[in-house]
Amino acid sequence: MSNFWKDLSKPIFTLAPMEDVTDTSFREIVERLSDPKILQILFTEFTSVDGMNHPKGRPRVSERLEVSSTEREILNQQNFKLVAQIWGNKPELFHSVAKIITEEYNFDGIDINMGCPVKNVVKNGCCSALIDQPELAKEIILATKEATHLPVSVKTRTGIRAHTTEAWIEQVAQTKPAAIILHGRTQRQLSNGLADWEEIAKGARVRDAVSPDTRFLGNGDVLSMAHGVELTTQYGLDGVMVGRGIFHDPWLFNPTITTPSIDEKLTQLILHTQLFEKYWAGKKNFNILKRFYKIYTNDFPNAAKLRAELMETSSFEQVYQIAQAAKLSYAENPVD
């Protein structure tokens, strides 16, 4: 398989991997709403290489790599690329899981998480903790590349306590990954403060010198397609990755829909709930869904009241009843 990263039109737009967010049901919603000429790549949730290598842990951990039949159909029809993201700190396990993903799944690429700042992950020497262990980080990337013909990318941050962007990105770029996605915050910042795009630009210039064939994307505070294009041009990047921006606007990757109607928002809320119920009922906690309801219930009269009602639900059926009643009410009393 060729390195699809090289064939993508620029600016490249991707949807970030997010824990308890980018499962197959939400990805399907985004794919249905997006223009495939704009959004080109989506990622799975974070998948532990330790869990995938554990006989008892693998069934549960592998849920993060599930792709529903309806999502697969959309991926094939629209040519979206889907990348499996993995994390851990043992090169031999990355090698093993990369082989599993390559041989047993149907992904277009593998991404290595070297950016997650969550405390219980970092204390075990994983994800963004690898910024302080560049030799181990390089071993992990090379072990993953060795095990697969799929393109291997790396998502990371600008440093641990302070920006060390140039020194760190030089280490990563030496392994010649297919792509580097750089979040413009340090590990210590978590999601606080503004992403530093000047630091992202520094990383891109290192890429230019060390591994010019590696695609380089920036990540952090991208809230619209126009903003993504502007950042790509201003800082000399190949594209951007959108994370929390999708919560502000799930139609972000579709320039033809700037102001979705109330009926459209509630239609997507119901569909998302149906997809979640179909794939995850009895497997995942129903309350995970509630974090999504705010993205469909905003910027219209009584949206806050509707959102509050949805937050009190405890079953799929309650959600359907409330949402359908709201659709009927707004249809009978249209808002200008």
Kindly report, residue by residue over 166-180, the tens digit of the pLDDT: 999 999 999 999 999
Distance (Å, whole) CA 93 – CA 84: 15
Q: Which of 210, 226, 248 represents a domain boundary (last residue)?
A: 248
- Return the higher-pLDDT residue of 151 and 57: 151
Q: What is the pLDDT of residue 62?
A: 95
> pLDDT category, 334, cuts 50, 70, 90?
confident
207 and 317 in one domain? no
23 and 149 in one domain? yes
134 and 108 in one domain? yes
> pLDDT category, 333, cuts 50, 70, 90?
confident
What is the extent of the structural domain holding 217? 4-248
What CATH number does residue 115 fall under?
3.20.20.70
Say if 226 falls within a structural domain: yes
Report the amino acid identity of residue 217: L
Q: How far is CA 336 from CA 251, 276, 297, 302, 331, in A?
A: 21, 32, 17, 14, 12
Q: Which of 187, 214, 248 represents a domain boundary (last residue)?
A: 248
Q: What is the pLDDT of residue 6?
A: 96
- 3-state SS, residue 239: strand
Say if 254 falls within a structural domain: no
Say if 255 falls within a structural domain: no
Is pLDDT of 211 > 90? yes
Q: Is the peptide bond before 11 cis (omega within 30 degrees of 0)?
A: yes
280 and 207 in one domain? no
Say if 9 falls within a structural domain: yes
Q: What is the pLDDT of residue 147?
A: 98
What does the pLDDT average to over 257-274?
A: 95
Domains identified in the chain, total number: 2
Contacts of 116 (CB under 8 A, 6+ apart): 46, 87, 122, 126, 127, 128
200 and 270 in one domain? no
213 and 283 in one domain? no
Say if 126 falls within a structural domain: yes
Say if 181 falls within a structural domain: yes
Q: CA triplet 40, 45, 48: central angle to 5 degrees? A: 130
268 and 207 in one domain? no
Average pLDDT, the chain: 96
The answer to whether 276 and 326 have CB atoms below 8 angstroms apart is no
Say if 291 falls within a structural domain: yes
Percent with pLDDT over 70 in the chain? 99
The answer to whether 186 and 162 have CB atoms below 8 angstroms apart is yes
- 3-state SS, residue 13: strand
Percent with pLDDT over 90 in the chain? 94
284 and 233 in one domain? no
Q: What is the pLDDT of residue 191?
A: 93
281 and 173 in one domain? no
pLDDT tens track for 185-201? 999 999 999 999 999 99
272 and 130 in one domain? no
pLDDT tens track for 88-103? 999 999 999 999 999 9
Q: What is the pLDDT of residue 2?
A: 74
> pLDDT category, 65, cuts 50, 70, 90?
very high
288 and 167 in one domain? no
Q: What is the pLDDT of residue 335?
A: 62
What does the pLDDT average to over 223-227?
A: 95
- Is 116 an active-site residue? yes
209 and 61 in one domain? yes
Q: Exactly one of 86, 98, 116, 266 is catalytic; which is it? A: 116
What does the pLDDT average to over 201-212?
A: 98
Is pLDDT of 336 > 70? no
Q: Which of 248, 281, 308 represents a domain boundary (last residue)?
A: 248
The number of beta carbons lying within 10 Å of the beta carbon of residue 305 is: 11
What does the pLDDT average to over 234-262?
A: 94
What tokens appear for 291 in the block?
């974090």
Say if 232 falls within a structural domain: yes
Distance (Å, whole) CA 219 – CA 113: 14
